[in-house]
């Protein structure tokens, strides 16, 4: 009798085990970050001339947030936000570089012992942060850094299991060193990592942030020739060609995922680090774009593709790069770390119920590397279509509040703060509740 009961119990246990759903295979994650590109400078965003067929295809397969933003329009601060899920005043990487010593030019400062020491101190501050690679490694992920990276050695300081950036100041490291070769000089390091991860049967996270279409605007002649007759400005034509060149590299990455069979279980996310409006008379950016508190520097489309999990389409809701880390962590079954205040972009309820977006812009060279308020230029808040920009008086002399209806005035030319004092007061209170320096 006992034997019969044991056999029946064993059969029941086996039946229960086989009835349970199989453990889902963790999704891979590829984060693609453009560098210095305008929010409208894509085919899928309606640009009249720029051709981006690979991103256009990705957009058709993705959930697209056309009203995406980065909280700050300077690359180091913006990239650090993506990898930590924290605002610059939280992760402390507010500026690209330390203060320039008195009496020195920027070029001279790059060789100054004190300046380089402060740069290493900035990296040491960042090294304490809970980055995406560090958090994903706890979930069994391997990770690879390629492209722009300001925070020292990508593995030691960023937590990547592999990376291109050595971060050695003795070898001229600043914002990517060897990593800056990716894209312009091919993609083999990324491909080798993808092959290795597949062979080892490991879920992976890839940081693909090439310095494209960033200066120098030196596209191949075959691409420049496509655009040189579409504008009177050689500088604009070269920038447009760079956008297409960057798109080609993205196509190569996506084709690799498809060919290897990794695409079906990979989350692909695209955005850029800050906006860009090309000056028609020089290689530089025009006002109200990079480094500014205006939409020309802050807007970016945000694309999220996850086959079988994310329905493609366009969302008119607000999204921010502050949301990337919590979105990725929740997608892989992990919890966002303390301090992450972004939402899960794959949760329709959270997206629909979001109120406002916040952001801040800072000096290119810090005044004090440990005190964000010392480097602050502007804080901004976006509530629906109302956007308030508040200057920080110590660093912006004679600045005045600026209020815009970005739906009616997308280039932010008509400051209506004087006409809507109640709205200025209301949004100022929200900004102060978020962060009051």
Distances (CA, A) of 222 to 42, 52, 175, 351, 425: 19, 15, 29, 42, 53
Q: What is the residue-level pLDDT of the chain in tens, covering all 437 positions?
A: 444 444 444 444 333 333 333 447 999 999 999 999 999 999 999 999 999 999 999 999 999 999 999 999 999 999 999 999 999 999 999 999 999 999 999 889 988 999 999 999 999 999 999 999 999 999 999 999 999 999 999 999 999 999 999 999 888 899 999 999 999 999 999 999 999 999 999 999 999 999 999 999 999 999 999 999 999 999 999 999 999 999 999 999 999 999 999 999 999 999 999 999 999 999 999 999 999 999 999 999 999 999 999 999 999 999 999 999 999 999 999 999 989 999 999 999 999 999 999 999 999 999 999 999 999 999 999 999 999 999 999 999 999 999 999 999 999 999 999 999 999 999 999 999 999 99
Over pLDDT 70: what percentage of the chain? 95
* One-character DSSP codes across 235-293: HHHHHHHHHHHHHHHHHHHHHHHHHHT-GGGEEEEEEESS---B-SSSSSBPTTSTTSS
DSSP code of 175? S
- Sheet containing strand 356-362, strands side by side: 356-362, 376-383, 386-391, 402-405
Instruction: Please give the structure tokens belonging to residue 346.
Output: 């794959």
Q: Tens digit of pLDDT for each residue in 289-323?
A: 999 999 999 999 999 999 999 999 999 999 999 99
Residues 193-229 have pLDDT tens digits of 999 999 999 999 999 999 999 999 999 999 999 999 9
Question: What does the DSSP 8-state code read for residue 308?
Answer: T
CA 322 to chain centre: 8
61 phi, psi to nearest 5 deg: -100, 5
- Identify the CA nearest to 75 among candidates 309, 312, 361: 361
Q: pTM of whole model > 0.85?
A: yes
- Kindly report, residue by residue over 90-118, the tens digit of the pLDDT: 999 999 999 999 999 988 998 899 999 99
Residue 257 phi/psi, 5-degree rounding, is: -60, -40
């Amino acid at each position: 009798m006992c034997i019969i009961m044991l056999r029946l119990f064993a059969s029941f246990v086996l039946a229960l085990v086989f009835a349970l759903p199989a453990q889902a295979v963790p999704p891979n994650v590829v984060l693609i970050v453009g560098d210095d590109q305008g929010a409208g400078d894509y085919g899928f965003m309606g640009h009249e001339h720029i051709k981006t067929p690979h991103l256009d295809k990705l957009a058709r397969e993705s959930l697209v947030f056309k009203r995406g933003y980065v909280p700050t329009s300077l690359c180091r601060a913006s990239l650090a936000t993506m990898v930590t899920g924290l605002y610059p005043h939280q992760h402390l990487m507010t500026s690209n570089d330390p203060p320039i010593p008195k009496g020195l030019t920027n070029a001279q400062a790059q060789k100054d012992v004190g300046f380089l020491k402060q740069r290493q101190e900035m990296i040491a501050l960042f090294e304490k942060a809970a980055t995406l690679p560090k958090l994903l490694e706890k979930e069994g992920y391997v990770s690879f850094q390629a492209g722009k990276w300001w925070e020292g050695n990508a593995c030691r300081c960023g937590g990547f299991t592999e990376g291109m950036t050595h971060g050695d100041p003795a070898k001229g490291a600043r914002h990517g060193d060897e990593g800056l070769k990716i894209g312009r000089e091919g993609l083999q390091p990324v491909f080798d990592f993808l092959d290795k991860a597949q062979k080892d049967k490991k879920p992976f996270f890839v940081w693909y942030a090439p310095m494209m279409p960033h200066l120098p605007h030196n596209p191949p002649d075959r691409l420049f020739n496509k655009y040189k007759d579409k504008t009177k400005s050689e500088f604009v034509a070269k920038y447009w060609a760079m956008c297409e060149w960057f798109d080609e590299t993205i196509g190569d990455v996506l084709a690799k995922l498809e060919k290897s069979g990794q695409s079906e279980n990979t989350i692909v996310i695209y955005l850029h680090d800050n906006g860009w409006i090309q000056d028609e008379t020089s290689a530089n950016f025009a006002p109200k774009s990079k480094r500014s508190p205006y939409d020309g520097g802050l807007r970016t489309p945000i694309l999220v593709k996850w086959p079988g999990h994310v329905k493609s389409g366009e969302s008119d809701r607000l999204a921010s790069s502050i949301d990337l880390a919590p979105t990725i962590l929740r997608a892989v079954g992990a919890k966002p770390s303390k301090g992450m205040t972004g939402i899960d972009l794959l949760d329709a309820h959270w997206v629909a119920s979001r109120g406002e977006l916040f952001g801040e812009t800072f000096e290119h060279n810090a005044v004090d590397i440990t005190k964000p308020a010392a480097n602050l230029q502007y804080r901004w808040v976006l509530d629906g279509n109302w956007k308030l920009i508040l200057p920080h008086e110590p660093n912006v002399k004679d600045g005045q509040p600026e209020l815009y209806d970005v739906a009616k005035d997308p280039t932010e030319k008509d400051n209506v703060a004087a006409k809507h004092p109640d709205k200025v007061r209301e949004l100022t209170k929200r900004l102060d509740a978020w962060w009051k320096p």
